[in-house]
Amino acid sequence: MKTLLCFGDSNTHGTAPMEELGDMVRFGRADRWPGIAAKALPGWELIEEGHPGRTTVHDDPVEGPHRNGLRVLPALLETHRPIDLVLFMVGTNDLKGRFSVNAADIAVSLEKLVSVVRTSTAGPWGRAPDVLLVAPPPIVEVGCLAEMFAGGAAKSELMGARIADAAARAGVPFVDAGAHIQVSEIDGIHYDMATHHVLGQVLAETVKAHFGEG
């Protein structure tokens, strides 16, 4: 059996769309996209590493430096090794106004995460794991998170193309989630339950196509 590390933010964690700040409802495993994908990938063990608020490479001055994906990635690679494949779906939180970055910056930050995996010995027999890059869908500035992400919607429209470029430069497979799903109209960031089911199936088929049944 192969191992897939799903490295993401609240949308990998399964955080439900938020009616107001502070809501912490989480969908059950069977309704989170990693759980959906796991059912379609019986030859793979999926490890859910979704952390709400996670950024690519930024210390969050409000929510804490532990949100920085680059900081925690090396430890997670060592914790879960041997890992055959690391799936990255982060970048949405980088769109918060407090970080002042654009889609190109986010794409380059993802390349940095890829390089950490590629220089690791976290794969079977001490080799580096494979990588799959997933571009999150565009966000919408609506609801309780609109002010926090002010200006991010326009930037997010470019993320798919910029992350596709990053994947090409790194020579890794790529999925544009925005071609398959949309964010909730409640808070403009998170996915509803039906969307998780769609995304889980899409990513499972992508893993099979590029990395086999397990």
Q: Percentage of the chain surpassing pLDDT 90?
A: 99
pLDDT band of 48, cuts 50, 70, 90: very high
- This model's pTM is above 0.95: yes
Per-residue model confidence as pLDDT tens digits over 123-138: 999 999 999 999 999 9
The 3-state DSSP composition of the chain as helix, strand, coil percent (nearest 5) reads 45, 15, 40
Q: What is the DSSP letter of 80?
A: H
Q: Which residues contact 207 (CB under 8 A, 6 or more apart)?
A: 4, 37, 41, 44, 85, 87, 132
Per-residue model confidence as pLDDT tens digits over 81-132: 999 999 999 999 999 999 999 999 999 999 999 999 999 999 999 999 999 9
The Cα–Cα gap between 214 and 66 comes to 32
Structure tokens at 162: 């910029």
DSSP string, 135-170: EPPPP---GGGTTTTTTHHHHHTTHHHHHHHHHHHH
